[in-house]
Amino acid sequence: MTHVPAISESTTPFLGFLSPWMTRQRWFANKGATPILEQIGTWSLQPAEGAARVVTHLLLDHTVGKPALYQVPLTYRREPLTNSLALVGEFEGEWVYDAPYDPAYTLSLLDVITSGTESRGDHVWAIGKHTAHDVGSGLVSRVLTGEQSNTSIIYEHEGQTPVICKVFRALHDGENPDVVLQTALAQAGSTAVPAPVGHILAEWDDRGEASGRATGHLAFAQEFLPGVQDAWRVALAAAAAGIDFSDEARTLGIATAGVHATLAASLPISDVTPADIEAVIGTMHGRLAAAIAEVPELERCAPAIRDVFERASRASWPAQQRIHGDYHLGQVLSVPNHGWVLVDFEGEPLRPMKERSRLDSPMRDIAGMLRSFDYVSGSLAVGGSAPAPQWSASARAAFEEGYSEASGRDIRHSRALVDAFELDKALYETVYEARNRPGWLSIPVDAIERLSARPAG
């Protein structure tokens, strides 16, 4: 999508009306910039009650760099709603609302998914796909607050299983791994993810594709687990209280291995080639260079880090497969009488969708979780309440033990490989912390020094 719109495309009264509102939304990436918008298509929902029009706009923003495509569902009413927080404004005699806050949209959205409704709009085709879990009646919707890149709608009613529907705001060509992986896991019988309800698949115009069309997911609905804590909060509370986390970490390792095994059995895998290894190691060297440029004192660790990367390149690599891709304690829920449940399989949000769907090493997920245990103890130390010195080490060892036991692959025999992936993650964290949270910079830097100093073998 390299086309820059003509003035007439980007300054229509309607797009000019939307621009100021979009800059205030958490999911809009170019904060502080006035969007240069181009509408590439729309599709409509048929609301259960006729007092509203429900239209989803696909809007391309040409503000900075590569254009970004956003899904903007809106409702249009002749009479105002009482929910003023959802109001976008008045336009041509109608009250315009951010649709996830309007029941005319939320109930129709869930109905499209469960009924498999097909819609052909203006340059957009969309269809609901009901995959498994049935929903009850009388559900009342509310928006989950605090999200950055998506909008999640919670549907609840006493006596009914609650549902969460994630509306993807930033759209990309390619299947969303959050939909594909969680659906595949559930359909294979895994209880380590919430039960899926279904999703909406769409096609739209895309001048950047050879076919002129792009395909992607617009929304994903699944069982909602209310009142549960994520593993980050559970681990943080344990560390702050000086409570050993080894048993919990070990069961999390077992759950992680089970998810990896189910993904490998359900979706394509591939043996690692020398070219694959060279590409991954090359990316790690690039991350090292970027980290040194940001934090020059890391130069003293560079020879040892390169040695770890070299040892990893000669190690035995497991087959590449689909993985979580952005795995840490915040992506795991602690569900009473059930155990650990993994969520948010979208992968790194800054990577293009097609890259997030590529096969990768399960060692990347392992390294991500090991880094997360470090962050628990590190964040407490930054706040002046350091946990017991061995808290992180014990949790890390127990996680590796559980994963090794359940997977049949002893992590200790893959030390150089795991260390390389963990160093790669810590180098990424170094750049992030240096730019955004300098007070936390010691967390990844300490890990880099520790990992690079570990004796070979």
Write a three-state SS string for 252-299.
Answer: HHHHHHHHHHHHHHHCCCECCCHHHHHHHHHHHHHHHHHHHHHCHHHH
Q: Residue 246 corresponds to which tokens in the numbers above?
A: 């080894």
Domain for residue 27, yes or no? yes
Q: Are residues 394 and 289 in the same domain?
A: yes
CA 295 vs. chain centroid, Å, equals 27
Last residue within a domain, chosen from 169, 189, 223: 223
CATH number at residue 314: 3.90.1200.10
Last residue within a domain, chosen from 205, 223, 241: 223
Q: Are residues 139 and 88 in the same domain?
A: yes
Q: Are residues 243 and 375 in the same domain?
A: yes
- Gap between the Cα atoms of 291 and 301, Å rounded: 11
Q: Are residues 293 and 390 in the same domain?
A: yes
- Gap between the Cα atoms of 230 and 102, Å rounded: 28
Q: Are residues 26 and 168 in the same domain?
A: yes
Q: Are residues 258 and 379 in the same domain?
A: yes
Domain for residue 2, yes or no? no
- Gap between the Cα atoms of 184 and 223, Å rounded: 15
Task: Give whole-number Cα distances, 171 to 138, 175, 192, 239, 366, in Å.
Answer: 30, 10, 27, 38, 28
Domain for residue 457, yes or no? no
Domain for residue 363, yes or no? yes
Q: Are residues 157 and 242 in the same domain?
A: no
The number of domains in the chain is: 2
Domain for residue 22, yes or no? yes
- Gap between the Cα atoms of 52 and 48, Å rounded: 9
State the pLDDT at residue 11. Answer: 57
Last residue within a domain, chosen from 204, 223, 242: 223
State the pLDDT at residue 5. Answer: 41
Q: Are residues 203 and 77 in the same domain?
A: yes
State the pLDDT at residue 1. Answer: 42
Domain for residue 155, yes or no? yes
Q: Are residues 146 and 234 in the same domain?
A: no
3-state secondary structure of 57: strand
The pTM assigned to this predicted structure is 0.91
Which range marks the domain in which residue 94 is found? 7-223
Domain for residue 72, yes or no? yes
Q: Are residues 382 and 430 in the same domain?
A: yes
Q: Residue 86 corresponds to which tokens in the numbers above?
A: 């959802």
48: left (phi over 0), alpha (psi -120 to 50) or beta: alpha
State the pLDDT at residue 90. Answer: 96
Q: Are residues 168 and 19 in the same domain?
A: yes
**8 Å CB contact between 435 and 294:** yes
Q: Are residues 29 and 172 in the same domain?
A: yes
Per-residue pLDDT of the chain (457 residues; tens, 9 = 90+): 434 343 334 459 999 999 999 999 999 988 778 899 999 999 999 987 778 999 999 999 998 778 999 999 999 999 999 878 899 999 999 999 999 999 999 999 999 999 999 999 999 999 999 998 788 888 999 999 877 789 999 999 988 999 999 999 999 999 999 999 999 999 999 999 999 999 999 999 998 888 999 999 999 999 999 999 999 999 999 999 999 999 999 999 999 999 999 999 999 999 999 999 999 999 999 999 999 999 999 999 999 999 999 999 999 999 999 999 999 999 999 999 999 999 999 988 767 788 889 999 999 999 999 999 999 999 999 998 878 889 999 999 999 999 999 999 999 889 999 999 999 999 999 999 999 999 999 999 999 999 999 877 6
- Gap between the Cα atoms of 71 and 59, Å rounded: 7
